[in-house]
Amino acid sequence: MSNSGPDDTDTGAAERGADHAPESDPADRGGGDPSEPTDQSTSAAQHGSRVERLHLSVPGMDCPSCAGKVERSVDTLAGVSRIDPQPTTGRLTVDYDPDTTTPADVRERVEKAGYEIEGGPVTETFSVPDMDCASCAGKVENALAGVDGIAEYDTRPTSGTVVVSYDGDQIGAADIVAAIENAGYDVTDTTTEGGSEGGAEPTSVWRSRRAMNTWASAGLTLVGLLVQFLVTGLDAVLLSLPGIAISVADGLFLVAVAIGGQAILRNGYYSLRNRNLDIDLLMSVAILGALAASLLFGQELYMEAATLAVLFSVAQLLERRSMDEARNSLRELMELSPDEATVRRDGEELVVPADELQVGDVVVVKPGEKIPTDGQVLEGASAVNQAPITGESVPVDKQPGDEVYAGTINEEGYLEVQVTAAASEDTLSQVIELVEDAQGNKTEREQFVERFASYYTPIVVAAAVLTAAVPPLLFGAPAATWFVYGLTLIVLSCPCAFVISTPVTVVSGITSGAKNGVLVKGGNHLEAMGGVEAIALDKTGTLTKGELTVTDVVPLGGRTKDEVLACARGLESRSEHPIGEAVIAEAEQAGVEKPTVSAFESITGKGVRAKLDESVHYAGKPGLFESLGFDLSHVHATTDGGVVMAKAEAQCERAGCLDLLAETVPQLQAEGKTVVLVGTEDELEGLVAVADEVRPEAAATVDRLHDLGIQHVTMLTGDNERTAATIAEQVGVDDYRAELLPAEKVAAVEELAERYEGVAMVGDGVNDAPALAAATVGIAMGAAGTDTALETADIALMGDDLSRLPYLYELSNEANRVIRQNIWASLGAKALLALGVPFGLVPIWAAVLVGDAGLTMAVTGNAMRLANIEPEELTE
């Protein structure tokens, strides 16, 4: 049993501002009979209140002290009203408010107290391709709500999947499949968090069983129409009953209903059983109503019933096809990773499933092949196309020691890659998982639409009943005519196109962004990004490259550039300072040999000293050489290095005279550079300047953001005022804040939030995490392969490319526009059609094909346009 101290608390809970009761007896936290059975590990709603009860098995909680520790840990959660730990049985019962706390939160607190939960939750994804609208999802939700042992479920009609977390000790996947199928939907595939449990290739919607039935029904309906209106001589009476005569055409229509209406009536039955007022139930009522009016009251609405069955089935097939198009964008992400990999084991090359790769395996990747998982290059060199992950348009050169990502493509060379992440934990898997999870984060508009739809359908159904009943009963209008008008309104009462308009746009936007190296972790973040008015940019690693490089080398006293670099390389070779790394990299690139180094010594706060080939040399700040007695106001450059001062040259007869202290060093520092002097005790040999270079696309990115409508762009940095001012001027931000501590960055973001409608903060996702959390939208740069950045940010720019930021804003802005278009277009079209029904302007076929299938296809097609937005390549 592993126990941790009582101070192991969840700061996230504290940050939510919850007030918690002090440690007390379990009975004091909400009462209850201590003898109440607790041998169920399930979450059960307490009807009539907003309290749910969770039972957990915690075998390691076997003493009062353990129980107290677990109780204190769980007590930190907001919304927990009662905790009853029973060390004698190892059971824990928790009552909680589901609006503020989830079973997953409770489990996490128990684990943070140092105890394992037996039979923990299983999270499984079920593929339900026929669940392609909000009403379908509602039926599945109603079915799952009645299954004991399910902790959480999330229906995703836009991807045709249901994610369920359940207690594996109490129920299994088969129970959940049965519940979904009892709701009227087939489950074609199940996938647990670690792998797959069977599945089938998706069948074309046009070759499905329902499609075959639809075509047969359509054929019979067409023949019936020909017999009834064109070949009337064949329309003999088949059956004659008192008040009813069924002709050949009527018989064909009835058979058409029997074949084409099977799926409709079956789904309508499940809707009724689950008390779900949706399009399947409404269409079932319409078809059965038409048949009842014909068979019982002699209204002869057989043709209308057959037409409804055929047209609605065609509409459903069209909707399914249109949703498949939306789902394909996510499917393409999943297909980026290869199914197989060539791995070297025990000296042999074996082809194995990619999901069987283990950390430490060495995989062989030949030219043109996809890299199967995240890893590090051991041998070989090649250009790798990282566009599927980072969105970079130009392949990146890879050499031994470099990182590579799953799903990227080896363009030309041979590579041996050591696996560094399991198949389910690599960068591509994280991207796919986050994109799938993003569907669960609903936008404000989506929540509004769902609330509106809950009122819309009952109101229109009521109007349909009144339309069918009132005119015939009160005004003597033709009953058959107004009955058909009522059926037409019932068809229009389904809000499917209206409800699906937002989620299908969110899926399209998120998957489009993922393909271009931008990972949006929820529709709410996509919506929020489109509404920001101000953007705060961190300097180091965001506006700049985050790596020091040598920008200037000025030889002095007759030395050459290579001699200065050789001296600087030797002195910095034993330094761990980033300046030293920059000098060494520059010297290596120039092919400068490293001298023999001995007697290395660091001079605190000033520089370093060492023997280079038996001669003592120094490297450091100008103050170091002033202390050695040098006159830095009068030195001579071998070349001008771009920094020779005219004033200094006028004071000296020799060309190349420099005043380092008054002019050269201050000028370089004003450009945001750090200056290092190199020399001996007797002679200055040269000057090296290093800087964190501004990204070449930074200035163009800021300009593009302004062009797109961002009102204010600011730079936040912990760097000094002089450097910050220089960088700010170079990139063209509206203002900057320098010398900020992390808490001061948070304050700066909050101040911006008071002045502007929304604020986005862009940083590295690690050091800037507090500021990212304080912003309306937190955006992490260069997140590929960085778990922390993927977890902390709302949006992650996978590549190290700032030009993706304007693309993100443009994508989000356009997504918001498309959502508005879809909502108002679908609502307006429904309203116009409904208003035209009582005037006989809208036939029932138009209500089905235009008001249902047509609108769904229109909003889906409009949403798919987001895939056409592509990032611009921004450079100076």
- Residue 224 pLDDT: 92
pLDDT surpasses 90 at 756: yes
Name, in order, each residue with C-beta under 8 angstroms of 125's C-beta and a sequence gap of 6 or more. Answer: 161, 162, 163, 164, 190, 191, 192, 436
Q: Specify which residues 250 forms β-bridges with.
A: none
Tell me, rounded to whole angstroms, the distance of Cα 159 from its chain centroid: 14
- Residue 789 pLDDT: 55
Distance, in Å, from the CA atom of 58 to the CA atom of 115, rounded to the nearest integer, reads 7
- Residue 762 pLDDT: 93
pLDDT band (50, 70, 90) for residue 196: very low
- Residue 848 pLDDT: 79
State pLDDT tens for residues 841-863. 998 878 877 887 788 888 888 98
Which whole number is the average pLDDT over 408-430? Answer: 83
Contact 704, 872 (CB under 8 A): yes
CA dihedral 860, 863, 867, 869 (to 10 degrees): 160
Distance, in Å, from the CA atom of 390 to the CA atom of 742, rounded to the nearest integer, reads 28
User: Which of 188-202, 258-272, 628-642, 775-789 holds the top average pLDDT?
Assistant: 258-272
Name, in order, each residue with C-beta under 8 angstroms of 303's C-beta and a sequence gap of 6 or more. Answer: 221, 224, 225, 228, 249, 253
pLDDT surpasses 50 at 28: no
The fraction of the chain above a pLDDT of 70, given in percent, is 80
Give the ranges where 146-278 is alpha helix by DSSP (H): 173-182, 209-225, 248-260, 262-273
pLDDT surpasses 60 at 561: yes
Q: φ and ψ at 390, to 5 degrees?
A: -100, -15
pLDDT surpasses 70 at 333: no
The enclosing H or E element of 23 equals none
Distance, in Å, from the CA atom of 843 to the CA atom of 829, rounded to the nearest integer, reads 15
State pLDDT tens for residues 344-361. 888 788 888 887 888 899
Distance, in Å, from the CA atom of 365 to the CA atom of 383, rounded to the nearest integer, reads 12
Contact 696, 676 (CB under 8 A): no
pLDDT band (50, 70, 90) for residue 43: very low
Other beta carbons within 10 angstroms of residue 202's beta carbon come to 16
- Residue 273 pLDDT: 72
pLDDT surpasses 80 at 254: yes
Which whole number is the average pLDDT over 494-507? Answer: 80
Which one is catalytic: 538, 719, 768, 801?
538
Locate 563 and state its tokens.
């001699």
Burial 535-574 (b: 16+ CB within 10 A, else e): bbbbbbbbbbbbebebbbbbbbeebebebbbbbbbbbbbe
Other beta carbons within 10 angstroms of residue 873's beta carbon come to 11
- Residue 108 pLDDT: 83
Report the mean per-residue pLDDT for the chain.
79
Locate 686 and state its tokens.
């040269």
Other beta carbons within 10 angstroms of residue 486's beta carbon come to 23
State pLDDT tens for residues 7-21. 333 333 333 233 333
pLDDT surpasses 90 at 520: no
pLDDT surpasses 60 at 670: yes
Burial 3-19 (b: 16+ CB within 10 A, else e): eeeeeebbeebeeeeee
pLDDT surpasses 80 at 612: yes
801 belongs to the catalytic site: no
DSSP 349-375: EEEEEGGG--TT-EEEE-TTPBP-S-E
Q: Which residue has the higher pLDDT, 100 or 59?
A: 100
Q: Specify which residues 51 forms β-bridges with.
A: 46
